[in-house]
Amino acid sequence: MAMKKGVKIARRKPIEEAEILVIPMIDVMMFLLFFFMVASLAMVVQAGLPVNLPKAATSSDHSSQNITITMMRDGSVHLNTATVTLATLKAGLQKLKVGDKDLVIINADKMVLHGSVVGAMDEARKAGVTRFAIATEKE
């Protein structure tokens, strides 16, 4: 009995298909989402809506405030970002539990009538607000 000696050729294993690992990708995406959410919250300066503010040479930079009354050129009134009317402004401020130590910033477009601003301040005073600031831009 003679044995054959020869070179053995190893058979290749079948090629496995590549898989995309979804779990680490989801982890990375969630981390990026949380990072950008926290970063965007840190960049918020004011809770009000953007309006065309009048300019004043003695204007000062405002820090982040909780309560902002925004009066738009078209006559709409916003408490922080919620749309209200002058009649419901007092109720909205009372809902926020505004005290006499809280500062309320009034963002009024420069084309808003002075009487409307005074009316908003009057409603805020009825709700217990005693400290006001009127937002302006530096020249």
Tens digits of residue pLDDT in 129-138: 888 888 888 7
Does residue 9 surpass a pLDDT of 80? no
The CATH code that applies to domain 55-138 is 3.30.420.270
pLDDT at position 2: 58
39 CA to centre of own chain: 11
Beta strands across the sheet bearing 82-84: 82-84, 77-79, 67-71, 103-108, 131-134
pLDDT per position as a tens digit, 66-96: 688 889 888 889 888 888 888 888 888 888 8
Helix (H) or strand (E) holding 82: strand 82-84
Average the pLDDT over 11-15 and give the result: 76
